[in-house]
Structure 1
Amino acid sequence: MFPAKKLLSSTPPFALQFGKYLICGGTAFTVHWTIVNILGHTLSPAFDESLGDELRFRRSAINNTVAFFFSNTVAYFLNVRFVFQSGRFNRKTEVGLFFLASAIGFFPALYSLDLIIRTFSLNTHIANIGFPAVAAIGNFFARKLLIFRR
């Protein structure tokens, strides 16, 4: 038996599922981060420290909101394909619940953005890394327990 097959066969199902979730989430994060950076350096500049904390926060919030819709769409398709099994609800309800669960995680993440930028005056890049990281764990359990069959 190949070492990878042996490792996978001895890995508990939850750990394997969470590992796949993290890989799919990493892909969605890359989409999110790319969009935030493109917007933050072009249409809605948010990375220049001379802009001040208030303007950097506002623009970062806008950029993250736009990126949320794209990265969440990628996350949905990857989660359905590789992590969870559809079928608990019809497709429209499932997509709606998926986005709702993500939106619920969006607000604590938005608060972390506010905290990092306006309260601690830290770098916008640090804030934008913390943003999706805060939402990821809550989203996994909401999706696993409330939306999908497994």
Structure 2
Amino acid sequence: MKQDIIDALIFYFRTPPKEMLRRIKERDLPWIVQLGVYGFCGILATVVSVGIIVLLSTTVIPAYEGMIVNGEPLTKELRAKNLLINNGISFFITNFFVYYMNVMLVFKRGRHSPWMEFLYFTLINLIAFVISQVAGPELVRRFDIPTNIAIFSNTVAAALINFVARKFFVFKG
């Protein structure tokens, strides 16, 4: 582990920017740096996901408190249902986006056929998504932890599950 950290620091501080980009594109990175690039892709995916949810929730499928549709204020039940729909739509759009980013910047393809690779990628993403949707409320209910800590821990756990599964099962590494 110590050598892995040293390799990552050498990469960050001694590699010229053009060489960094070349090595990222060729996936010739220390695993800690690969994890960082993966994290960057995850941040972009989160921005895309939240953007889609907010856009849908404010326009096409209303999901904000105080909104009025057909002259009636949205009930909390309808808001919750619409938010779930918006989350689902966002999941599938964001899944395509993050798959593309992972293929372009993080992992080497070729362990499976392209269709199977995408199917496994989506399945693992869906499993991590469902676990995170269940685990957060459960952490709050069982251990009374603050909501933001539950959200953060779910995000980190889902990201790590996805990274390991993608690195060792979906892609070549």
Common fold, TM-score beyond 0.5? yes
Matched, 1:144 2:167: yes
Residue number among 67, 84, 88 corresponding to 2:107 in the alignment: 84
Identical-residue share of aligned pairs (%): 32
Residue number among 14, 32, 35 corresponding to 1:6 in the alignment: 14
**Residues 46, 57 of structure 1: 8 Å contact kept:** yes
Deviation at 1:44, TM superposition (A): 2.0
Deviation at 1:5, TM superposition (A): 4.5
Structure with greater contact order relative to length (CA < 8 Å, sep ≥ 6): 1
Residue number among 120, 127, 142 corresponding to 1:97 in the alignment: 120
User: Please, which runs of 5 or more residues in structure 2 have no aligned partner?
Assistant: 1-10, 21-28, 67-73
Rounded Cα–Cα distance in structure 1 between residues aligned with 2:58 and 2:34: 36
Query: 4+ residue stretches of structure 1 with deviation over 4 A?
Result: none
User: Please, which runs of 5 or more residues in structure 1 have no aligned partner?
Assistant: none
Rounded Cα–Cα distance in structure 2 between residues aligned with 1:48 and 1:37: 13
Hey, what does 1:30 align to over in structure 2?
Answer: 47
Q: Considering only aligned residues, what root-mean-square deviation do their CA atoms show, in Å?
A: 3.2
Deviations 1:9-48 (A, max 9, x none): xxx8121000000111111111111100011112222231
Residue number among 52, 60, 70 corresponding to 1:43 in the alignment: 60
Task: State the structure with more CA Rg.
Answer: 2
Matched, 1:56 2:79: yes
With normalisation by structure 2, the TM-score equals: 0.66
With normalisation by structure 1, the TM-score equals: 0.75
Say how many residue pairs are matched: 137
Hey, what does 2:129 align to over in structure 1?
Answer: 106
